[in-house]
Each structure stands twice: as structure tokens, then as C-alpha cells.
Amino acid sequence: MKKRILSGMRPTGGLHLGHLVGALDNWVNLQKEYDCFFMVADWHALMSEYENTTSLQESATDNVIDWLAAGIDPEKSTLFIQSQIPEHVELYMIFSCLTPLGWLERCPTYKEQLREVKTRNLNTYGFLGYPVLQAADILIYKADKVPVGEDQLPHLELTREISRRFNTLYKKELFPEPGALLTQVPRLLGLDGRKMSKSYNNTINLSDSPEVIKQKIASMFTDPKRIKLPDPGHPEVCNVFSYYASFIPELKAEVSDWCTNAKIGCTECKKKMAEGLIKKLAPFHERRQGFAKDKKKVAKILEQGKEKALSVASKTLKEAKEAMAFPA
């Protein structure tokens, strides 16, 4: 039997190229080997976006369209919306009662986000409990593995601690201790060389048309020392070059030669990169348009995913309540 994994994305807006190379390409590979549960983490989105909830539902469908266009196969993987499986929240409630406050307060990402996020008030009870909901998301499906980046490791450790605590308290080996699936994924920077993020307005969105992609790439930062055409460039410090490496690796050597020997200017280099990227993304865009036109099909996929997720989640919750001698 295939081992199970759980992963999700918060529907806080349209997905961008960073999501494609940083998560979706990895998900597509994982579904060959694992029984994958991929969720639209709308409860998690609510924890930071509670002041403006109007676009959550639209983003949820839009994100799933991107997943499908990227190659997530509903025949192999279970796609669902977290809030449609109330068992997540019920298990979250149980785990909240047995999780010491100190475990949450020491979470490095919690402290970091409280310090750094200035645009919304995250000093809430819900946001503190974010990793407890994550533990419920993972353990309700008894996932064996969770694909995570290094920064998420403390959260996963907390999931393991909660699992151990439940099993010890109620003397039943019900929940597993899921392991990390640390995957080295390429990190794609935004148009301005900072982390690609909607809040920095430096993204290339998966829904952008070829025309918009061309305009955005034309505005990309390049090697700051290459000012005039005859100046030799340094591809290793140029963000445009890193896009070649990610999307058109077959041209890397040639671009390096153009750049270091000042054979072409940055404007032309960016134009060629935009053309290559648009060509590379063409099959994705075609599939995306197909799913975007057929929302009924997307809804059906999510309905089927919901049924499957519900059947697993309700069984686990029943087992948990039985272990606690709690009314089921």
C-alpha cells in the first residue's frame, strides 16, 4: 500500500510561478509514489484574512484550476476544501485541549510572523493555534509524510508531539508520528529580486496572459553592474539568468556566453527569456483555460475529493472519540 501524504495551500489569492516550481511540480512528482491528499487550506487562510473573506471562495476554485493545469491528477490524488470536512475542526478542538500553551508560544514562525506582518493583526487566539489545526489536518488522515520546507520543521515536530501526547493520554497507538519529506525545490525570486510574493507586487501569476508576462519580464532587475551594452555581465548575480536556469536550462550555456562576452543587451536577453517561458508555459495555459471554462468539472472533482476525504476523516475521528470514551 502506498504511504500517505498531506499537503495544502492557503487560498489567499492567485498562484504564481513561485508556487509552480516551489510546490506544484513537487506535488505532481509525489503523486506517482504516494497516496496524496491535497487540500485548499481555507481555515488557515481565515486565520490571517479574517477581515476580508470575500475572495476566499473564488481563490479556492482558482487555485484548484492551477493545480489541475499543473498536472495534479484527481484519479491519483484526493483534492478537497478543508472547511468542507468538519472533522478537521473537531479534532483541532480535541488537540487544543491537550496542547500546552508553551508549545505554541515557542514556535519560531509564530514569533517571526507576529514581528514581521504589519498589514494585519495576527495577535489572535486563532493564529496562536495555527499549528494545532495543522496537526489535526495531518493526523485526521494519519499521513505518513508531510512535504515541508526547513522553516516548517518545528510545526511538524509539534504535530508529532501532539500525536504522542494523545496516544499516551488515552493509551492507544492511534495516531502516527509523520515524517518530513524534505524536498530541495528551486527558489524563484520575484521580478525585483526579492522573495516572490503577492504583497511585494513582484509576481508572474499562473493566470497571466503572454502579453502580461512579456511586460513583467521587461521590467525585471538584471546585473546592476551591466549598464551599457559593451559592459560584460555576470549571469550568476542576474535574476533573469536564474529564470533561464529554471525554465529554459537548455539555453544556459548560450546565455552565459552572450552575457559575459557582451554579445547581446539585457533588453534582448529578457525578450528571448519571455518568449521561451511563454512557450514552456503554453501547455499549462491551454489546460488552465480548459478547466477555467469547465467549472462544473472542477466542482465535480472537488465533490469526489470531499467524499473520499470525509470517509477517512470521519473514521479517524470516531476512533479518537472511542479512545477518549467520549460520546461519538
Binding site for ligand SF4 (CB under 6 A): 222-223, 226, 233, 235, 238, 240-241, 255, 258-259, 266, 269-270
CB contact set of 225 (below 8 Å; sequence gap of 6+)? 231, 233, 234
Grid cell in block for residue 275: 518568449
Least distance CB 219 / ligand SF4 (angstroms): 12
Least distance CB 238 / ligand SF4 (angstroms): 3
Least distance CB 189 / ligand SF4 (angstroms): 13
Which CB, 263 or 285, lies closer to ligand SF4?
A: 263
Which CB, 154 or 193, lies closer to ligand SF4?
A: 193
To 5 degrees, how large is the angle CA 143–CA 14–CA 283?
85
Which CB, 105 or 257, lies closer to ligand SF4?
A: 257
Which CB, 175 or 258, lies closer to ligand SF4?
A: 258
The CA–CA distances, whole Å, from 241 to 165, 228, 280 equal 49, 18, 16
Sign of CA dihedral 175, 180, 185, 190: positive
Least distance CB 30 / ligand SF4 (angstroms): 32
Least distance CB 203 / ligand SF4 (angstroms): 19
Which CB, 89 or 237, lies closer to ligand SF4?
A: 237
Which CB, 271 or 287, lies closer to ligand SF4?
A: 271
Which CB, 95 or 258, lies closer to ligand SF4?
A: 258
Least distance CB 88 / ligand SF4 (angstroms): 46
Of 44, 42, 59, residue with least CA distance to 198: 59
Distance in angstroms (rounded) separating the CA atoms of residues 31 and 325:
37
Least distance CB 87 / ligand SF4 (angstroms): 50
Distance in angstroms (rounded) separating the CA atoms of residues 18 and 10:
14
> Which amino acid, 50?
Y
